[in-house]
């Protein structure tokens, strides 16, 4: 028995690694998670399907959308978490955060000043209008799954407040990822470092660990 022990140990490690491999490869595409309408308080049931059955109509309770903003170099991300939605627009120079409640399959999110983001979502995509600095653009953003999505990092190091945000998006042509982001120290811009998922990122000499939406949604209000 004890002569077999070491082989069993190696085999157990191999089986564990294989299990993690299968789980990771088949991980459910995050996309959209729907729930019956009555489970979400304050949400009016309104989706594309079955207009007659109010009670059973599914509403999106969790989703991540990201895509390009038409006629710009910007990317936009919209994430739904229960009754709360977060939006982020960034072209590498201008950035804007949006937040607001979910109303059925619509969001009307407010940003700083008169910036706003209105979108309708469901069926695998969000589409709408983002208005910023007196201009507005249309966008269509499909659902994305990890590692694509919205990331944010904040950290205070010796009194200096570091902030960085990125939208990271699988290239629609299948060739790697595209990204935009901004980084700042004490609210003044610094060079935006390249985002690599699940790795610490060096912002102006200090390391931060970007969080996905689940990691920072609670902090945003």
Partner 1 sequence: MTAVYPQQRRSAVPLLVPLLAGGLVMVALGVYGRLHTPTGFAIGPAGFSGALPMKAWLTTGAFVLAIVQVVSALSMWGKIGIRIPAGVHRWSGRLAFLLSVPVAFHCLYALGLQYDVPRVLVHSLLGCFFYGVFTAKMLALPRRGLPGWALPVLGGLAFTALVGLWLTSSFWFFTAIGVTL
Q: What angle do CA 123, 179, 87 make, to 5 degrees?
A: 50
Task: Report, in Å, the least distance between residue 212 CB and partner 1.
Answer: 8
Name which position in 180, 203, 208, 217 contacts partner 1 (CB under 8 A): 208
When the beta carbons of 52 and 176 are compared against partner 1, the nearer one is 176
Coil vs helix vs strand at 1: coil
Interface with partner 1 by CB under 8 A: which range of 17-25, 43-51, 64-72, 101-109? Answer: 17-25
Contact by Cβ (8 Å): 102, 113: no
Name which position in 56, 83, 160, 209 contacts partner 1 (CB under 8 A): 209
Name which position in 27, 56, 83, 220 contacts partner 1 (CB under 8 A): 27
163: Cβ contacts below 8 Å, ≥ 6 apart: 152, 153, 154, 183, 184, 185, 187
Contact by Cβ (8 Å): 125, 141: yes
4-27 b/e (C-beta count within 10 Å ≥ 16 → b): eeeeeeeeeeeeeeeeeeeeeeee
When the beta carbons of 160 and 209 are compared against partner 1, the nearer one is 209
Name which position in 71, 73, 93, 146 contacts partner 1 (CB under 8 A): 146
Per the structure block, which two tokens stand in for 48?
């594309």
Interface with partner 1 by CB under 8 A: which range of 40-48, 100-108, 124-132, 195-203? Answer: 195-203
Name which position in 24, 173, 188, 221 contacts partner 1 (CB under 8 A): 24
When the beta carbons of 7 and 112 are compared against partner 1, the nearer one is 7
When the beta carbons of 137 and 207 are compared against partner 1, the nearer one is 207
- By the rule CB under 8 A, 161 interacts with partner 1: no
Place of tokens 């019956």: 36
Task: Report, in Å, the least distance between residue 118 CB and partner 1.
Answer: 30
When the beta carbons of 6 and 134 are compared against partner 1, the nearer one is 6
Task: Report, in Å, the least distance between residue 4 CB and partner 1.
Answer: 8
Dump strand ranges (E) for the chain: 32-36, 58-68, 75-81, 84-90, 95-103, 106-110, 116-122, 125-132, 135-142, 149-157, 160-170, 177-185, 188-190, 201-203, 206-208, 211-212
Tell me which residues touch partner 1 (CB under 8 A).
3-7, 9-10, 12-13, 16-17, 20-21, 23-24, 27, 146-147, 155, 196-200, 207-209, 211, 215
């Amino acid at each position: 028995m004890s002569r077999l022990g070491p082989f069993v140990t190696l085999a157990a490690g191999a089986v564990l690694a294989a299990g993690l491999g299968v789980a990771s490869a088949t991980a459910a595409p995050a996309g959209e998670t729907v729930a019956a309408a009555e489970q979400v308080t304050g949400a009016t049931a309104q989706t594309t399907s079955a207009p007659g059955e109010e009670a059973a109509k599914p509403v999106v309770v969790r989703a991540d959308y990201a895509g390009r903003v038409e006629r710009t170099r910007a990317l936009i991300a919209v994430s739904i978490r229960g009754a709360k939605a977060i939006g982020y627009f960034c072209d590498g120079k201008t950035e804007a955060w949006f937040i607001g409640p979910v109303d059925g399959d619509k969001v009307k999110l407010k940003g700083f000043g008169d910036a706003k983001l209105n979108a309708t979502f469901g069926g695998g995509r969000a589409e709408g209008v983002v208005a910023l600095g007196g201009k507005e653009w249309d966008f269509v953003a499909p659902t994305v799954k990890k590692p694509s999505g919205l990331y944010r990092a904040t950290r205070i190091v010796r009194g200096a407040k570091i902030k960085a945000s990125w939208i990271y998006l699988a290239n629609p042509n299948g060739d790697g990822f595209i990204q935009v982001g901004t980084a700042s120290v004490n609210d003044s811009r610094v060079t935006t470092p390249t985002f690599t998922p699940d790795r610490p990122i060096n912002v102006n000499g200090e390391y931060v660990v970007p969080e996905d939406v689940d990691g920072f949604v609670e902090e945003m209000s």
